[in-house]
Structure 1
Amino acid sequence: MTSSNLFWGALALGAVTGMRSMLAPTMVSRALAARDDMDNVDEPARTLASRRAQQLLLPMAAAELLGDKMPFAPDRTIVPSMMFRALSGGVTAAALASARREPVWLPALIGASAALIASEIGLKLRKPYQKKALTNAALGLTEDCVALTLGSAGIRQALER
């Protein structure tokens, strides 16, 4: 039976993905790679824990963290972005479930749904300040801190038995 800890972790990391699409997969990739119980885990945990995934995800997350504060950053709720965020949130949550050797579909659905909802909320909170560069950047940095804190807590929660 899948535990509620995994569901809360999937929800938290899905929300992080809604704020920063590459941050949650990067954090989970690094967390899984650091574990010593990753032998014989299924996909997608195996892929996210791989060295190659870490090499790809970290620069992508860093670029997103920087690019989000730029005035030319695209709207996070355009259809391609929302599709990618849902996919990213779902895969991230599924990786946590597979690392625990538990069914992946419900956590994936929770992660994808949370990503979509958090994207909408984040946009509504920041959009009024987009034209004020300094305020927008400050809000973006605050959102980064919230995402990092929430992501760390979500990983701890999901991987706890």
Structure 2
Amino acid sequence: MKHHTLLASALIGVVASARSMTPMATISAARLLGRSTPGRLALLDRPLFRLGALVLGAGELFGDKMKTAPDRTVFLGLLARVMSAGIAGAALAPRGREPSGAVAAIATAVPLAYVGLDIRKNAMQRIGQTRSGLMEDALIVAAGVAIVALAVSSKSRS
């Protein structure tokens, strides 16, 4: 699938707004399955980075349900979103447009983190932290997988 727009980059920013590590985990999983991203990013070809991204992605899904989990808009939460969205946005951008892809993803992730936090807090009041978190996880992980699956190609076709 040819991509000439930054749509995949912006959409992965939506994912990063809710789960900071999911964009990198889904891209790492795709790379492990032999897929390549449109944008060049040597970082994704390092096995230790791929494993770390997968572990952090899984850990975040568990940690989010803890009563002591910080809001996604605290400084470190936003920093993680900026970094993950930037890396993932660059990887999903068309070749040669990686910086623009990073900017598109970050510009989507940061403001939507605030919107998502408000939605999540309302859901927590209604159905609790764990149930609302599991529902958000299912939606965000599915979105991340779908976005990455549509944006990547098999290495044999690249």
- TM-score normalised by the chain length of structure 2: 0.83
Cα–Cα, structure 1 residues 159 and 77, in superposed 2: closer, same or farther, change >3 Å?
same
Could you tell me which residue of structure 2 aligns to residue 92 of structure 1?
Answer: 88
Instruction: Give the Cα separation in 2 of the matches to 1:49 and 1:117.
Output: 30
Q: Of the candidates 64, 69, 75, which is equivalent to residue 79 of structure 1?
A: 75
Q: 5+ residue gaps in structure 1?
A: none
Could you tell me which residue of structure 1 aligns to residue 137 of structure 2?
Answer: 144
Point out the more displaced range, 151-160 or 112-121.
151-160
| Identity score, percent | 28
Instruction: Give the Cα separation in 2 of the matches to 1:78 and 1:37.
Output: 33
Q: Of the candidates 53, 60, 64, which is equivalent to residue 57 of structure 1?
A: 53
Is residue 154 of structure 1 aligned with residue 153 of structure 2?
no
Instruction: Give the Cα separation in 1 of the matches to 2:26 and 2:36.
Output: 17
Cα–Cα, structure 1 residues 21 and 84, in superposed 2: closer, same or farther, change >3 Å?
same
Point out 4+ residue stretches in structure 1 off by more than 6 angstroms.
none
What is the aligned length? 152
Cα offset, 1:36, TM superposition: 5.9
Instruction: Give the Cα separation in 1 of the matches to 2:139 and 2:122.
Output: 19
Instruction: Give the Cα separation in 2 of the matches to 1:79 and 1:59.
Output: 22
Instruction: Give the Cα separation in 1 of the matches to 2:59 and 2:125.
Output: 21
Output the aligned Cα RMSD: 2.5
- TM-score normalised by the chain length of structure 1: 0.81
Equivalent residues of 1:19, 1:122 under 8 A apart: yes
Equivalent residues of 2:124, 2:132 under 8 A apart: no
Could you tell me which residue of structure 1 aligns to residue 118 of structure 2?
Answer: 124
Deviations 1:105-129 (A, max 9, x none): 1111111111112211210012235
Instruction: Give the Cα separation in 1 of the matches to 2:53 and 2:97.
Output: 24
What is the one-letter code of the residue matched to 1:66?
A: F
